[in-house]
Amino acid sequence: MSNRMWGGRFASGPAEIMEEINASIGFDKRLAPQDIRGSLAHVAMLGAAGILPAEDVAAIEAGLKSVRDEIEAGTFVFRRELEDIHMSVESRLTEIVGPGAGRLHTARSRNDQVATDMKLWVRDTLDALDGQAAELQRALAEKALAHAGTVMPGFTHLQSAQPVTFGHHCLAYVEMLARDRGRFRDARARLNECPLGAAALAGTSFPIDRHATAAALGFDRPTANSLDSVADRDFALEALSAASICAVHLSRFAEELVVWTSAQFNFVRLSDGYTTGSSIMPQKRNPDAAELVRAKAGRIVGALMGLLMVMKGLPLAYSKDMQEDKEGTFDALQALSLCLAAMTGMVKDLEPVTEVLARAAGSGFSTATDLADWLVRELGMPFRQAHHVTGRLVGVAAGKGVGLEALTLAEMQEAEPRITEAVYAVLGVENSVASRISYGGTAPDNVRTQAHGWIARLDGESR
């Protein structure tokens, strides 16, 4: 039989495969809270505008709240033949209220309804992700403060470059997350226009008050073009784009944790809470949480690519293709939420192995740049010449299998006669990091200042 919610034009029901491909209730039921919020705002506006009588408004509002209670209690029955969350809610509302429930759909369409629901869900989720990212920033800033002076190797090309501090490394991710949060907030600001009342695509002839429904739902304003209102999914694309960049940041840190916890590095340790064992090798402690954060970046970026491909060829206004906006968006943003939670837990849990980090910080001639800078600063040597002299001394030290600090003064003076004993003061890793006092540099005092600043800023946000 035809679908009784919209089947007047159809004499028979859909083919089995049509029902299979068409139904979205299996995933869009998570929009139930947003759908009911939108319906409550809509019916209140219909009453205030004199489009529906007060008794109908009261009955519909009471019925919607009953449906909401059933969904929250887990007793609501989602029926596949009703296709989606909108028809599921309306069908149950009709059972509770009677035929008058059908008046709820006056001056709206499923097209503007689903666009509103999705915007509400994405907005709620962006707010939650912003809060989670702030929690991770705090964990990193607190770890940075605790290890502002803990030296470690800094890398370029995954080769020892210059000594830095562990706290400085943590603060690099605090900065990345700050930009991620900025993108979440930018996306939220742009999506915060209400599509409700655009109807199917052309607006409506009823004297509705779209500003009232927009305000009731916390939007800044109603959308200005009815075609764009129902055809727009760039709010989901922008949220997925921001999520993808954040996921890549988390994936990079996860990769470092995987490397750092290996026996070959042993830079940090994670507890049993964020590692797993092996089914065959009893000695193993695998950083599975970090590996899964790294892997989930693929799902998140994939969702962005998938929705871009869905939208790229669609004419205005609504097409059923746009039903494909939901599963990927739901999955990706939920995955990012899980990644942020896992990474926050790992940051709080991890402990740097300070003696290993200190030893590694001095390896690979990591203070060579300090030597070159000394030649420029103390001897007035052009940097390119200083680079050349330092390179010769690195070659001598490598040939002897020692660090630069182990070369004798005579060996250094063979490369540059003006070198004095004072040069040894810059060759230790502690001296190296302490000298990096430029704004944004790794000097421990800089790190403490930045960490305190971030903690104070985060405290201010939470008030």
Return the C-alpha torsion angle 207, 210, 212, 217, nearest 10.
Answer: 140
d(CA 40, CA 229): 20
Q: Which of 12, 157, 279, 462 is catalytic?
A: 157
User: Is 278 a residue of the active site?
Assistant: yes
d(CA 426, CA 374): 7
With beta carbons less than 8 A apart as the criterion, state whether 433 and 423 touch.
no
With beta carbons less than 8 A apart as the criterion, state whether 238 and 190 touch.
yes
Query: For the chain, how big is the Rg over CA atoms in Å?
Result: 30
Q: For residue 256, give every residue at least 6 positions away whose Cβ sits within 8 Å of its Cβ, in sequence order, or none.
A: none
With beta carbons less than 8 A apart as the criterion, state whether 33 and 74 touch.
no
- The C-alpha angle 92, 95, 97, rounded to 5 degrees, equals 105
Tokens 């629901």, residue? 117
User: Is 157 a residue of the active site?
Assistant: yes
Q: Which of 262, 271, 278, 363 is catalytic?
A: 278
d(CA 134, CA 177): 8
Q: For residue 462, give every residue at least 6 positions away whose Cβ sits within 8 Å of its Cβ, in sequence order, or none.
A: 134
d(CA 110, CA 86): 7
DSSP run (H or E) holding 143: helix 110-146
Q: Which residues are catalytic?
A: 157, 278
